[in-house]
Amino acid sequence: MIIRRKTKQIQVGGVAVGGDSPISVQSMTNTDTRDVEQTVAQICRLQAAGCDIVRVAVLDNEAALAIKAIQEKISIPLIADIHFDSRLAIAAMENGADGIRINPGNLGGEEKIALVVAAAKLHGVPIRVGVNSGSIEKDLLKTHGYPTPDNAEALIESAMRNVRLVEKHGYDKIKISIKSADVLTTINSYQQLSKTTDYPLHLGVTEAGGLIAGTVKSSVALGILLSKGIGDTFRISLTRDPVEEVRVGFELLRSLKIRERGPELISCPTCGRTQIDLFGLAEEVERFVQTMETPLKVAVMGCVVNGPGEARQADIGVAGGNGVGIIFKKGEVWKKVHEDDLLNIFMAELKKMEEEGQKERNSAKS
Ligand code: SF4
């Protein structure tokens, strides 16, 4: 059982982060924030995939102003990511950002930090103090050396120094991230940081890579941390469509039995016993289950020798035979159909189950 580390709770728009709130899944748009239409379209896709909090890059005043129009069309909290320019941080908050991600030390001095913190207080906006291995102050690197798996001192000290810059102005709606591109450094740093502070922690491996490398690196680092109860919110960084980041995020939470969303897909790797186009079938089913919200177990298996048995816990599954497909429910055979009809009949049943799940969710709400 995972025992969650106790942290303070902050509010990012309508989403609580830290304390006993659910671990939230974040992502970041890769559109030009000034292009409201494109940015809203991407955020809506992220929302549909289950993204809890979205971050946008704010590079200039036009992007800060665009936040207002974006906020009118989305319903998840929006965080403005800002570097170096305190005026942009203030403008983003004035235009409705639910949170800002800054590195206070690079805002240009004490006076500017004070102005940003005053604006955060005024608008009730939390601040993520985000430190990366690449952004550590020179004096800390000189004293502690560059972060390695055995030495997280510079990262921790940099984060806490930046946190103190905010606290000094009487503000504590803070969460912290200390990102590295190295898995072991990430694990060690967050473990140490979690012993140093009780502010909520935003986890992530920065510049993790493409779909495969990025998923593996992030899942190893974040999986280990989350399994130790460390981490209140996270982003899986992938050089990909950000929607994939959200999907990987929920699979990670599901695999640790922390949180689930939509169906779990169980599919066999295929072997010499497979006599149907299982890859094609699995792809179609996977595409559809990504649009579903009902937490079902769905199995796609290559044969009836092991299929139903291996997926006995599945709510619905399909197993290939010789020119036929066996559809089973809860491990018992439900229907045997010709291979040509298999996909249509299986998908129709899945859709029915999703509609039933939707009705149940609606009646639970009312
Ligand atoms: S379920 Fe059947 S086809 Fe799939 S790997 Fe197992 S034995 Fe092979």
Query: Which atom of ligand 1 sits closest to the CA of residue 304?
Result: 2
What is the predicted pLDDT for the residue at 239? 94
pLDDT of 319 strictly over 80:
yes
Q: In the beta sheet, which residues pair with residue 326?
A: 319, 336
Ligand 1 atom closest to the CA of 319, numbered from 1: 1
- The pLDDT of 213-224, averaged and rounded, is 96
Are 273 and 223 part of one and the same domain? Answer: no
Q: Residue of the nearest CA to atom 5 in ligand 1?
A: 270
Q: Are residues 276 and 246 in the same domain?
A: no
Domain count, the chain: 2
**Is 309's C-beta closer than 6 angstroms to any atom of ligand 1?**
no
Q: Is the distance from the beta carbon of residue 318 to the nearest atom of ligand 1 less than 6 Å?
A: no
What is the Cα 20 distance to its own chain's centre? 18
Determine, yes or no, domain membership for 1.
no
- 2 part of a folded domain: no
- Cβ contact 242:42 at 8 Å: yes
The residues that bridge with 27 in the sheet, in sequence order, are 54
User: Which pTM does this prediction carry?
Assistant: 0.91
Looking at 255, 286, 301, the residue that finishes a domain is: 255
pLDDT at residue 67, rounded to an integer: 98
Does residue 36 fall inside a structural domain?
yes
Q: Is 305 close to ligand 1, i.e. is its CB under 6 Å away?
A: yes
CA-CA distances (angstroms) from residue 304 to 13, 16, 263, 274, 311? Answer: 49, 46, 22, 9, 11
- Give the residue from 255, 290, 305 where a domain finishes: 255
Cβ contacts of 256 within 8 Å, gap of 6 or more: 2, 223, 226, 227
Work out the average pLDDT over 105-110. Answer: 83
271 lines ligand 1 (CB under 6 A): yes
Task: Quote the ligand 1 centre to 125 CA distance (angstroms).
Answer: 52
pLDDT at 364: 80
Q: Which atom of ligand 1 is nearest to the CA of 305?
A: 2
The atom of ligand 1 lying closest to the CA of 301 is 1
Q: Of 307 and 210, which is predicted with more confidence? A: 210
The answer to whether residue 314 is domain-embedded is yes
The rounded Å distance from CA 319 to ligand 1 centre is: 9
H-only helix segments in 84-210: 86-94, 110-123, 138-144, 153-167, 183-196
Close Cβ partners of 197 (under 8 Å, ≥ 6 residues apart): 160, 163, 176
pLDDT at 214: 95
Taking residues 73-90, report their average pLDDT: 95
Q: Is any ligand 1 atom within 6 A of the Cβ of residue 268?
A: yes
- For residue 324, report the distance from its CA to the centre of ligand 1, in Å: 15
Same-domain status, 56 and 148: yes
| Mean pLDDT of the 125-138 span | 91
274 close to ligand 1 (CB < 6 Angstrom): yes
> Looking at the structure, do residues 330 and 218 belong to the same domain, yes or no?
no
Higher pLDDT, 47 or 307: 47
Q: Which residue segment(s) compose the domain that 339 sits in?
A: 264-365
309 within a domain of the structure (yes/no):
yes
Question: Based on the domain organization, do 180 and 321 belong to the same domain?
Answer: no
In a domain, 279, yes or no: yes
Residue 308 has pLDDT above 80, yes or no: no
Predicted local confidence at residue 280, as pLDDT: 87
Q: Any idea what the CATH number is for the domain that residue 340 is in?
A: 3.30.413.10
In this prediction, what percent of the chain has a pLDDT beyond 70?
Answer: 99
Mean pLDDT score of the chain: 93
192 and 53 inside one domain = yes
Give the Å distance between the CA of 345 and the centre of ligand 1. 22
Are 158 and 289 part of one and the same domain? Answer: no
Both 205 and 352 in one domain: the answer is: no
Residue nearest to atom 6 of ligand 1 (CA): 306
Q: Which ligand 1 atom is at minimum distance from the Cα of 274?
A: 3
pLDDT at 309: 76
Is there a single domain that holds both residue 251 and residue 272?
no
Read off the CATH number of the domain in which 98 is found. 3.20.20.20
Instruction: Give, as one character, the DSSP assignment of residue 254.
Output: H
Please tell me the distance from the alpha carbon of residue 79 to that of residue 64, in angstroms, as a whole number: 11
Same domain, 119 and 208: yes
Domain-located, residue 3: no
Q: Point out the domain boundary residue: 255, 277, 292.
A: 255
- Say yes or no to pLDDT of 108 above 90: no
Q: How confident is the model over 327-342, as a mean pLDDT?
A: 88
CA of 268 to the centre of ligand 1 (A): 6
Are both 251 and 269 inside the same structural domain?
no
Query: Is position 226 within any domain?
Result: yes
Check pocket membership of 279 for ligand 1, CB cut-off 6 A. no
Same domain for 123 and 82: yes
- The verdict on the CB of residue 307 being under 6 Å from ligand 1 is yes
